[in-house]
């Protein structure tokens, strides 16, 4: 199961059962509950994605500029395929051990600004692999 979440909802807490108190969301609760049936439950939380629903908002130059600045790492508006790829992955057998998680598809919106500056100052210092996407 893959659900869609708002980026802003990723830090909310809710009660969904006595054994699930203080878990970040119903995604985690359902992952625990349905795991015994070998069902994985995950979510994707995209940033602004270019769709008919965001067209009017992104036509506002001030809002668009603000959004582009906040998408700190990639500085671009997302496309529907950016989200679709993550959903296909989570629904595939390649993600069979991933459950109770939310993948942020935000181009770096939620990445700490200082972490981005440190990574630019010392390439490879974080120990993570990266690739440039054009």
Beta strands in 10-131 (DSSP E): 42-46, 101-105
Q: What are phi and psi of 35, to 5 degrees?
A: -55, -35
What is the CATH superfamily name and number for domain 2-121? Answer: NAD(P)-binding Rossmann-like Domain (3.40.50.720)
Tell me the pLDDT tens digit for each residue of 52-90: 999 999 999 999 988 888 887 888 899 999 999 999 999
Residue 6 or residue 13, greater confidence: 6
The CA-atom distances, in angstroms, between 126 and each of 72, 74, 112, 122, 123 are 18, 18, 14, 8, 8
Would the pTM of this model clear 0.85, i.e. be above it? no
User: What are 11-49's pLDDT values in tens digits?
Assistant: 333 334 444 443 456 888 889 999 999 999 998 888 889
Residue 74, helix vs strand vs coil: coil
- Token representation of residue 91: 């629904």
Q: What is the pLDDT of residues 88-115, one digit of tens each?
A: 999 999 999 999 998 989 888 888 654 5
């Amino acid at each position: 199961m893959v659900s869609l979440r708002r980026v802003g909802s990723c830090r909310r807490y809710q009660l969904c059962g006595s054994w699930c108190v203080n878990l970040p969301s119903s995604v985690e609760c359902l992952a625990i509950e349905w795991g015994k049936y070998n069902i994985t439950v995950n979510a994707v939380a995209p940033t602004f994605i270019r769709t008919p629903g965001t067209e009017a908002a992104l036509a506002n130059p001030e809002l668009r500029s603000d959004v582009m600045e906040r998408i700190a790492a990639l500085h671009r508006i997302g496309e529907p395929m950016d989200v679709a790829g993550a959903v296909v992955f989570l629904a595939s057998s390649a993600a069979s051990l991933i459950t109770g998680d939310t993948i942020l598809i935000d181009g770096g919106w939620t990445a700490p600004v200082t972490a981005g500056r440190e990574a630019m100052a010392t390439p490879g210092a974080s120990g993570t692999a990266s690739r440039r996407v054009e």
